[in-house]
A and B are shown apart, each in its own frame.
Chain A
Amino acid sequence: MASTLSAKSIPLARPKNGVGAFVFQCRKLVFSYCEHFGSNNGMVCVSFHSVRVFRFKDRNENSPVLDYIRSDLVKFAKKNPQIEIVVQHRPAHHPIVKGFYLNGRDKVICVRNLSPSEIGDKVKLLRDSSGAKTKLLAKKPVLSTTESVRGIWSPFHSRRHKI
């Protein structure tokens, strides 16, 4: 029956995320690192909990650094199964964390020279974002598509004015 209706006559059903179910907006996080550049120390030596200086000569086939990333990132990934996590080797660059959102936008944060806990804070910032461009909400604290709860004032439904 619905197929016989013209496109114009079908009303628009607007999404209201959170009214029924909440769909997490961050869908993917990409971590890019480089083992050589010193700015990557916080990233490579883990993501969130300890600092360890990585030396070029210590590197070997089964580098403990990458195991480290796996173990800490794995904890974060377990806690957030709705986010797809990608770890990418990007040589000769500062480390970055890039978040992809369901509105099609992405946010990039360069985590150069940050400690693992600071990187963790940035990752949480990306995770908790909706992906929308940052805009000033202080001027309009309430945004709603529904009417006010108490209704708009009408002179006919209020007390008679008395002087």
Chain B
Amino acid sequence: MLRRTFALPPLARLTPPPLPCTATNLTSLALLHTTHPWQERRSRKQVLAAIGAKEPTPALVALGARLGLPFNPELLRQIVTHHSFVGEVEEPNNRRLEYLGKRVLSLYVSEYVHIKYPFLPKENFSQVLAGYIGNATLANLGREVGMQHVVRWTEPTRIVHDPERTLTIACSQTAAEDQLTQSAVVGKAMASLIGALYRERGPESAKRFVHMHILSRELNVRDLIEIHNPKRYLTWLMRRQNRKEPESRLLSETGRTSVSPVFVVGVFSGEEKLGEVCLLVLDMMTYLFLTFIVCTEIHQVSAPR
């Protein structure tokens, strides 16, 4: 069979002919060289297709190095691939890893909060847990490490508000609020990252990662606590811990007969002072020092053996 080859004349342009696109093959190196002229810049997808879809993107390798993760590139790619992603080939996604990761997160954060705040009421416990590992926080964490640039997912077609129903759009069945957002995908990728770390490197490694990245965040626990009957709560708390009943004692005072007296009152359980507060009226009992007791922080957090 005759094969005709057409030799076109070279394109007339001032810039040199493009060199082949290469990517160095070192594991931790991310160097991408695009040689196309500025005007004919190819899209990121085209460039990656030219290199070969097997290779991980430089941004992905950089992410792995930024977080200090000892993963091979295939696992990194699995971590950032959401199950909605449709590629040319069937690719492993992060759904199972995300499931595992959420539970691992829940374990280590619960453990930490349980030890750090031993007297925290149970409603506040779930709030603190949500604050550390909720979807919003995981999404924020993902954005802070640059996960949004590497996640692979398919954005669902947006539901368009069309009251006259003149447009026919193929939209998903779910409501607008349940639609997948980039924040959700980023958060899931973070959870799957921890799941992968647990699976590959074991519990100690995962725990260290959770403590370094998630539990180092600042969360104000004191503001969450609402005690409606502070005297009753304190009495109950002391009885439960087999301590003596709480009594308030006057520590110091000034200007009792004046217009603006100040009293320093301490709450004692036997001989032990639980807390003190400065009052303007002797009978008034604020619950500030109660929350101080309830939120007693044990400075040396030791894990249960």
Contact = CB atoms under 8 A, between A and B. Distances in A.
B59 interface: yes
Contacts of B219: 11-14
B31 A74 contact: yes
Interface string B235-253: 0000000000000000010
B66 A27 contact: yes
A19 B133 CA distance: 18
Contact of A88 (B34, B126, B130): B34
A102 B132 contact: no
A84 B127 contact: no
B138 to A, nearest CB: 10
A73 B221 CA distance: 47
Given A15-B144, A82-B66, A145-B218, A2 B29 contact: no
Contact of B212 (A10, A12, A21, A82): A21
B160 interface: no
B36 A89 contact: yes
B146 interface: yes
Contacts of B262: 156
Contacts of A85: 30-32, 58
Given A10-B136, A78-B28, A86 B34 contact: yes
Interface residues of B, number: 63
A91 interface: yes
Contacts of A145: 218
Contacts of A154: 278
A53 interface: no
Contacts of B35: 89
Nearest to B132: A13
A83 B146 CA distance: 11
A24 B66 contact: yes
A109 interface: no
Interface string B114-132: 0000000000001111111
A79 B177 CA distance: 44
A28 B61 CA distance: 12
Q: Is the interface of A mostly helix, strand, loop or mixed?
A: loop
B28 A81 contact: yes
B66 A87 contact: no
Nearest to B14: A91
Contacts, number: 147
B31 A87 contact: yes
A73 B58 CA distance: 14
Contacts of B209: 21
Nearest to A32: B38
A84 B32 CA distance: 8
A141 to B, nearest CB: 21
A13 B137 contact: yes
Contacts of B63: 82
B166 interface: no
Contacts of A82: 62-63, 65-66
B15 interface: yes
Given A1-B126, A15-B141, A82-B66, 18 more contacts: A7-B136, A10-B134, A10-B136, A11-B131, A12-B131, A14-B219, A20-B213, A23-B67, A23-B145, A27-B146, A66-B19, A77-B29, A81-B62, A85-B32, A91-B14, A102-B146, A154-B278, A156-B252
11 contacts: A2-B130, A11-B127, A13-B137, A21-B216, A23-B145, A28-B62, A70-B24, A78-B26, A84-B61, A85-B31, A156-B264
Interface of A: 1-2, 5, 7, 9-17, 19-21, 23-24, 27-28, 35, 59, 61, 66, 70, 73-74, 77-78, 81-91, 93, 102, 145-146, 154, 156
| Closest 10 A/B residue pairs (Cβ) | A20-B216, A81-B65, A21-B212, A20-B212, A2-B130, A82-B66, A81-B28, A11-B131, A13-B217, A84-B62
